[in-house]
Chain A
Amino acid sequence: MNCNQVITRIEDYCDASLGPEDRQAVAQHLDGCESCYRKVRAERRWRLMLAEPVSEPDSGFEQRMLQAAHGGGDARRRWTTPVVGAAMAACLVGGLFLGQWLPSGSEPSGAPVVGPVASQDVETVNLAFESGKALQDVTLTLELPPHAELASMPGERRISWQVNLEKGENRLALPLRTLFPGEGELVARVQHGNQTKTFRAAVGGTQRDG
């Protein structure tokens, strides 16, 4: 094998993906050719430099990530800022009263927990409410204003889910992405049997928790 043939095989040689015969031929050539040997070392050198050690996240990392998923938004900013109230006021949805949407006392009731927090351009609105008993086949429909979409369902303006409610706390997390500055209305319809409740909330555009 000559130098040119070796050079065309350097990449595969360093990947250890040459067949046994080629591999041996290259190795033999390298034994006697200082110039090609240097090239192989250069190939290995630059590849090695690609790999820098990666820093490990701190011990609270997992908790923060799961909390962000549950509570919606940026867990890191969420609890460290003293102006959580202001942050919430600046956020997307002021409050969707999903609680008290059915008249009877045995049906879901209770105050909603609204925890919207900004994270990059995705702002998650988190709704939680108590249900007095388990309910099957509740239909939840969301209609989004033109300037927002669900991060997990880009382009969808109207989304419906068939959900079951557990007795006790139920949560609804809405990761909303603001596509462009604007104002609009988010409409949520909750339907169980022949009962329907409609909720509307203003969805602002661009305000962020610095």
Chain B
Amino acid sequence: MFLTRSQAKEFDRLVKPHLRMLYRFACRLTGNPDDAEDLVQEVMLKLYPKTQELREVEDLQPWLNRVLYRCFVDRSRREKRRHEQAFSDLGSDEDHNAFLDRFSGEGLGPLADMENDRARTMIHSALDELAPDQRALIVMYDVEGWPQDDIAEVLDVAPGTIKSRLSRCRARLREIILAKMEP
């Protein structure tokens, strides 16, 4: 909370190299640049008083990602933009199969080969409807391709649970997309 000038400089030195990476993650999570910058700024406000603590962190990148993720979840909760939805435990293989048939893009049905732009828009609006933790997981694994250990650190869960969580999130996402595809 209380920083001397040299501590303030230390803060800059520690954090600056990671700012663009944080912005990128924030963009993925929030879905737009303005919210992303607000989110990174919130993280800065939160961390500034903790410069001492920052200095002791061995690998800052995942640590910072975790702080940003927490801020994102808190913010989503406060804004109540995303309401928690109960979803079927594990999407069944039949569901997955039905989804793939409708999404194949090779003329299996009237909606199957919708043009890419429309499909993309639909997917991103579906992603926005996911609960924040689910969205974050999809972003980290499917979009950014982070290692499972890094993802586990951000989410504060055991690395061994990532794949099953991911499966559930994807199933939920497909469920939302399918609902959007219904005529």
Contact = CB atoms under 8 A, between A and B. Distances in A.
B16 A61 contact: no
B153 interface: no
Given A61-B20, A170-B2, A175 B167 contact: no
Interface stretch (B55-63, B80-88, B115-123): B115-123
A52 B4 contact: no
A17 interface: yes
B2 to A, nearest CB: 4
A167 to B, nearest CB: 9
Nearest to B32: A55
B93 A54 contact: no
B49 A173 contact: yes
A69 B103 CA distance: 46
A8 B124 contact: no
Given A65-B41, A173-B3, A7 B23 contact: no
Interface residues of B, number: 56
B1, B40, B96: residue with the most chain A Cβ atoms closer than 10 Å = B1
A69 B48 contact: yes
A122 interface: yes
Nearest to A140: B2
Interface string A9-25: 01100010100000000
Contact of A170 (B4, B11, B41, B120): B4
A122 B120 CA distance: 34
B2, B23, B138: residue with the most chain A Cβ atoms closer than 10 Å = B2
A55 B27 contact: yes
Contact of B103 (A42, A124, A163, A172): A42
Interface string B99-138: 1110111101000000010011001100100000000001
A164 B177 contact: no
Contacts of B37: 57, 61, 64-65, 76
A121 B123 contact: no
A75 B41 contact: yes
A157 to B, nearest CB: 15
B159 interface: no
Contacts of A47: 142
- In terms of DSSP, what is the predominant structure of the interface of chain B? helix
Nearest to B3: A171
B108 to A, nearest CB: 8
A119 B3 CA distance: 21
B3 A11 contact: no
A55 B12 contact: no
A7 B93 contact: yes
B105 A45 contact: yes
B41 A74 contact: yes
14 contacts: A49-B123, A50-B138, A54-B28, A65-B37, A65-B40, A65-B44, A69-B47, A122-B45, A152-B50, A161-B2, A166-B5, A170-B5, A171-B2, A171-B3
Interface of A: 4, 7-8, 10-11, 15, 17, 38-39, 41-43, 45-47, 49-52, 54-57, 61-62, 64-66, 68-70, 72-76, 119-122, 124, 140, 150-152, 159, 161, 163-166, 168-175
Given A4-B93, A15-B163, 16 more contacts: A7-B93, A42-B101, A46-B174, A49-B116, A50-B143, A52-B120, A57-B23, A61-B20, A69-B11, A119-B38, A140-B1, A161-B2, A168-B5, A173-B1, A175-B45, A175-B49
